[in-house]
Chain A
Amino acid sequence: MADKRTDDTNSFLVDTYFQKMARRSGGIPREQALENAQFAIDKIRLGFGDWLDAESDALIAEIRKGTMASPGDVRWAEAALTHARQIRDVGTTMGFELVSFITNNLCEMFEAIITGASPRNEMINCHIDALLLAKQEQYRHLRPEQLPELSGGLRRILEVANNPAVATEK
């Protein structure tokens, strides 16, 4: 099966057990599968509010630690990044796009801090305030584009946080 491409390179076709079996007849058609998936998500969503509250509290607690940390100690940012990522990664799937948008910005800020940027507490706090707002019933199912002033402002803050020179240019 293998065909020699060069002296030290072998190339061969791999049709794995997964691939062979997944191509069998009798599977769930796409439309039906996606309908089932929506039902599954609706069930999982029932506990999402409580989980989001717990993760947000943990995120805020780590940020508080950051205000007391020594310069150069980024352990708080690493822990905060974990919580922000967890929220970001499930928010949109659960229908909380604004929450994912805000925590994605926070992820970028924490990543920058971990790689040496100075923490900008006021910018982080703006995002936390936005997150607390986005969790509320009247906001949680909105998309960032439905709140252009809020999302535009947060984008601008992130831009400045990632590149302080931008603030003086504009």
Chain B
Amino acid sequence: MGTLVRLLRTPKGAVGLILVASFIILGLLAPVISPTNPQKQNISLRNRPPLFHAADGRVYLLGTDELGRDLLTRTLFGVRLSLLIGFCAVACSGTIGVFLGVLSGFQGGVIDFVVMRAVDAQLSIPLILLAMMWIAFTKPSLPNVLAVIILAGWVQYARPIRAMTLTLRSSGFVEAAHAIGVPRWRIYLRHILPNVLPLAVVISTLQLAGAILMEGSLSFLGVGLQPPAAALGLMVNSGRRYIDTAWWICTFPGLALMLIVLGVYFMGDALRDTLDPKLRRLG
């Protein structure tokens, strides 16, 4: 709770927190507050501009897309989807990455070598290429998109967490715990884990933004979620064909994506400064 209050005191933290919180609320409430169904088409109302008043008295705040679907509704559901994918991906890749990072740093030896070479190998392929390959060789679907983002994400935790574990391993309190015969698993849980968590939280904010952008790019390239899903990247891509007649179709979903990521970055910056001033250099 104290961290939250301190976050709100910095301008960046306050703006970030408000942005992220509002998008989370919008995403959660999307089925309740949306004017209509995200898949409901109305061919007679295609490509209508923002603030369009229909004959039946309904107002389309952000206009309609190329199939006459309400853009506001689709953007809200897109936000929901982006956040869902982002949080799931971070939770999974964070768990895997922290586990392997701590294991690698603490055990050393063969485990360390294998994990670190896997990290090297993975970091030497651009993430987007890895993702495209994975999806081309499997099938574009939500689980596959999630899987590839998780696969790409764990390395970002493993390396810094391993480095920190190495430092912790040789610190006085861990050696003391060893000396009085505390079992290994207990040293992991009680002495190492709490000390690497702030670092993991800071990496997580960067990763959350990265995962959301990655899903957007994949969907945009056609190897992520498939139509008619209300994914923001997909909406930008389908709006691309109408940029000369209907600018709003790709503008609003992209804007929503940008604001979410901006909020997450702001929050991450503030969080980093609040949790541990020593971590400032990471960014």
Same complex origin of A and B = no
Chain A residues engaging chain B, CB cutoff 8 angstroms = none
Point out residues on B near A: beta carbons under 8 Å.
Answer: none
